[in-house]
Structure 1
Amino acid sequence: MANLFSSFDPSSGILSLNWLSSLIGLLIIPPMYWLIPSRMNMLWIKIIMTLNKEFKILIGNNMIKGNTLIFISLFSLILLNNFIGLFPYIFTSTSHLIMSLALALPLWLSFMIYGWTNNTTHMLAHLVPQGTPPILMPFMVCIETISNIIRPITLAVRLSANMIAGHLLMTLLGSTGPSMDMSLLWILLITQMLLLILELSVSIIQSYVFTVLSTLYSSEVN
């Protein structure tokens, strides 16, 4: 079990520089500034424009110009770290609560401070949904307050748990390879390939879900 979870240990490895895997994405940035854009660059610009349109709709009418950029940057950071973590011997930083909480908690805290400072009445109105009977109002306030407080935890745990689950499953299956019969080895290889494709899709979905939920939380405080 210790060997199984060693890939998620930040101090494991030869040089213990695992957290530097989060900075590998910086090597991709310089080619973005060439005069003639490449196909990769054009694809990335297309993704950014699509995300920008979607986040504009989610945030609503009270949008300040350029505030979708923070959510696009957040999506890019999580997506890049999720992809990099799929390569062998590279540490998956997003599988740690330290990383995911560091992204979720400051965002949620800034939304809450802004909302309660500038739109106190609106924030209080959010604690009681429309059409709630008067007798249930105290319970609804308690439930809504608790659900609001645990939002950053659920955001962080969702991202980390999804990244850990897939990686552990691939590690468990891969460790059975040496002891497996040669006739069954091709089944293991196909399963591992399918799992890798699944993990690729999970990497995209989880970064998108994290960003969209953060955007929705920000729209509630306006």
Structure 2
Amino acid sequence: MMTNLFSTFDPSTNILNLSLNWSSTFLGFMLIPMTFWFIPSRYNMIWFNILFALHKEFKTLLGPFNQKGSTFIFISLFSFILFNNFLGLFPYIYTSTSHMSMTLSLAFPLWFSFMIFGWINNTQHMFAHLVPQGTPPILMPFMVCIETISNMIRPGTLAVRLAANMIAGHLLLTLLGNTGPMLSFSLTFFLILTQILLLTLEFAVSIIQSYVFAILSTLYSSEVT
């Protein structure tokens, strides 16, 4: 019996009082044994094509100052978030990306490292970013304050965007699922159909949110070079 709506996200999975909440993050090593394939499978070929397309896009966003291998961290970030988003769609699996402790742990270190690199190596360039080109002199102090605040809240917006989008769909699925026992047979059929459509939407959201997180991280990185 749920005490409240958000209790579905409570970390309560355990076996013999051994917490298994975050173990779903590492299930990929067991579910996708890549070393068992001696030749590229169709799954590998599709995945490599996706990664290659992401590599080309991230390389374009990073601009002419990107170094060899600089896109790998963002591809890994995309893959990690995508896998955890997908795991959250399975029953009884802890959705780690719906918690701020997870998303903020991904967003803040990336943003902080970009800021340190930018202010140490490209100080003049970072100061120039605080005042957009063509700003009237009288508005410059206000623009510096606005740009500084918008820069400071970037890791928070990244983390909240991912967590909120993952929570929203799961909450809607939970709300509709709890009404099932009280409905008639005909209405239950439409409820199941609606749940399937929502699950398909959540599948798309899982891909989109991991892509948005990686793209925005890449854009933030390109601004400090």
TM over 0.5: yes
Question: Given that residues 63 and 222 in structure 2 are in contact (C-alpha distance below 8 angstroms), is that contact kept between their aligned partners in structure 1?
Answer: yes
Shift of 1:92: 0.3
Q: In structure 2, how many angstroms separate the alpha carbons of the residues matched to 1:30 and 1:14?
A: 25
- The aligned counterpart of 2:197 is 194
Q: In the TM superposition, what is the alpha-carbon distance from 1:4 to its structure 2 partner? A: 2.7
> How far off its partner does 1:31 sit?
1.9
Distance 2:95 2:64 in 1: 37
Q: Secondary structure at the match of 1:178?
A: helix
> 2:95 maps to what in 1?
92
Answer whether contact 2:104 2:159 (CA < 8 A) is retained.
yes
Q: Unaligned 5+ residue runs, structure 2?
A: none
8 Å CA contact 1:128–1:144 kept in 2: the answer is: yes
Task: Tell me the residue number matched to 2:223.
Answer: 220
Q: CA deviation at 1:137?
A: 0.2
TM-score w.r.t. the length of structure 2 is: 0.95
How far did residue 187 of structure 1 move? 1.1
Any gaps of 5 or more consecutive residues in structure 1? none
Partner of 1:7: 8
Q: Distance in 1 between matches of 2:139 and 2:36?
A: 57
Cα deviation 1:17-37 (Å, max 9, x = unaligned): 111010011224532563301
Aligned to 1:125: 128
Q: Which amino acid aligns with 2:115?
A: M
Shift of 1:8: 1.1
CA distance in 1, matches of 2:9, 2:140: 44
Residue-pair matches, total: 221
CA shift for structure 1 position 156: 0.1
The answer on whether the counterparts of 1:52 and 1:68 sit within 8 Å (CA) in structure 2 is yes
Once the 2 structures are TM-superposed, how far is the Cα of residue 86 of structure 1 from its aligned partner?
0.2
C-alpha distance in structure 2 between counterparts of 1:32 and 1:51, whole Å = 23
1:142 corresponds in structure 2 to 145
Q: Report percent identity of matched pairs.
A: 70
CA change 1:32–1:3 in 2 (3 A) is farther
1: CA distance, partners of 2:14 / 2:191: 29
Equivalent residue runs for 1:163-178 within 5 Å: 163-178=166-181
Q: How do 1:1-222 and structure 2 match up within 5 A?
A: 2-10=3-11, 12-15=12-15, 16-31=19-34, 34-222=37-225
Q: Matched residues in 1 for 2:67 and 2:32: separation?
A: 26
CA shift for structure 1 position 2: 2.8
